[in-house]
Structure 1
Amino acid sequence: MLNQPTLSHNGVTLEPLTLSHTNELMAACQDGELWKKTTTSVPTPTTVADYINKATNMTDRVAFVVIDERTGKAIGSTSYHDILSQAKRLEVGYTWYAKSYWRSHINTTCKLMLLTHAFETLEYLTVGWRTDIENTQSQQAIERIGAKKDGIIRGIRVRRNGVVTDTVMYSMSKDEWFEHKIKLIEKLAKYEK
């Protein structure tokens, strides 16, 4: 299991997810009624505590809460998961933010911190992502980071509405990281203007 750091950059902090974040995450998931999107893993307002308990008790997941440093409030969550320490591979996912933070610097900042930590501190060789085949918004965001589409795994996930669906897999190697790191930093600079 990985140690869980606190990461901070560009007005965003990622810290270990705990039950103390329950009330703020209840408010965050209500910003846009995110749990109604069947292609995501966002909890309902009444299941946030269960979501946190499950996330923090998984042996191959390191869950973070996303804090907006301007307000000091929790605005979402993200995780390392499917951690394969021998292969030096992990995935980034279970990511969601209050809707009012979409199209802001938040996601780019979080990905920059998580990828920098994974590749440069932990010295992992591969970072992966997965998303529902119908979640084109997430697919586009993953592609903007610079991840390569590895393929589609058919019939691997059951949505909360009971529908069995396909998953699109992406990855980035450590060799590709530095080129994409520069692009992420340049993208963040545009938000600052």
Structure 2
Amino acid sequence: MSALETVLVDGDVHLEPLAAHHIELLRAACARDPDIWEIYPVSMLGEHFDRAMEDFHATTNWVRFAVLHRGVLVGMSCYIAPDESNHVVEIGGTYIEPAARGSAGVNSAIKRLMIDHAFACGFTRIEFRVDSRNLRSQAAVRKLGAMHEGTLRRNRITWTGYVRDTCMFGLLKTEWSGGRG
């Protein structure tokens, strides 16, 4: 897992292992989109932020990154549960503040960096789990070349009490074209 935890750079997008000096900046970035948290499994808004950070740090099988765009912290993303024996890792826990979404290309740069790095570290399969209501994230994952492999029905209870369906996507190293189409 330690090989996954490094600084990754693509132009104006930098991923840095999440550290104490990022926390208040991340809190502010999360607060810039109060509506998005309704479709996330956990809330990182207001009074929920500190608990989410405690839970993230209590989970030892995640590699967390602060996402910086042009030197400004705009979100986070994670490698989740790297399974080195089966060469599988999930990319998730991604949040990007509204100003850095879409045309800025931040999400695609994040995912390219993380996918390229995971494959370079010997992983051969990347997984993405997306709430079925999150159409924007599903489209972004498909654009990377990931295949929808099925939907887990009513498999997770979110922080709001909503029982969500989770779309499962997979991307194999042999299928990866660099996320550019």
Find the counterpart in structure 1 of residue 76 from structure 2.
77
Amino acid at match of 1:165: R
After superposing on structure 2, the runs of 4+ consecutive aligned residues of structure 1 that deviate more than 4 Å are none
Bigger drift between 36-45 and 130-139 goes to 36-45
- In 1, the alpha carbon distance for the partners of 2:80 and 2:118 equals 12
C-alpha distance in structure 2 between counterparts of 1:34 and 1:94, whole Å: 17
1:149 matched to 2:159: no
> Which secondary structure does the structure 2 equivalent of 1:129 belong to?
strand
1:47 is displaced (CA, Å) by 3.3
1:32 pairs with 2:41: no
Residue equivalent to 1:113: 113
Write out aligned runs for 1:130-141 (5 A). Answer: 130-141=129-140
User: Hey, what does 1:20 align to over in structure 2?
Assistant: 21
Q: TM-score, normalised by structure 2?
A: 0.91
How big is the shift at 1:19? 2.5
> Aligned residue for 1:172?
171
C-alpha offsets along residues 22-45 of structure 1, whole Å, 9 cap, x if unaligned?
Answer: 211121112222554334545113
Is the 1:39–1:134 Cα contact (8 Å) retained in structure 2? Answer: no
Identify if the C-alpha distance between structure 1 residues 6 and 53 changes in structure 2 by more than 3 Å, giving closer, same or farther: farther
Please give the secondary structure, in 2, of the residue aligned with 1:37: helix
Q: How much is the aligned-residue C-alpha RMSD, in angstroms?
A: 1.7
Deviation, structure 1 residue 159: 1.5
Matched, 1:54 2:46: no
CA distance in 1, matches of 2:135, 2:159: 18
The CA deviation string for residues 144-192 of structure 1, in whole angstroms up to 9 with x for no partner, is 1110011011121112210211100001101111xx21626xxxxxxxx
**Contact 2:39-2:134 at 8 Å conserved across structures:** no
Structure 2 partner of 1:190: none
Unaligned ranges ≥5, structure 1 = 185-193
Are 2:11 and 1:10 equivalent residues in the alignment? yes
Residues 34 and 97 (structure 1), Cα distance of their counterparts in 2 relative to 1, 3 Å cut: farther
For 2:128 and 2:58, how far apart are their aligned partners in 1? 21
Count how many residue pairs are aligned between Structure 1 and Structure 2: 179
Q: How far apart in 1 are the matches of 2:40 and 2:51?
A: 19
- Listed one character per residue, the Cα deviations across residues 52-97 of structure 1 (whole Å, up to 9, x for unaligned) are 33223312210101012x2x22110000002211100000000011
Q: Report % sequence identity.
A: 26
Secondary structure in 1 matching 2:6 = coil
CA distance in 2, matches of 1:13, 1:124: 21
Which residue in the other structure is 1:161 paired with? 160
What is the match of residue 188 of structure 1? none
Structure 1 pair 56–36 and aligned structure 2 pair: CA distance change class (3 A): closer
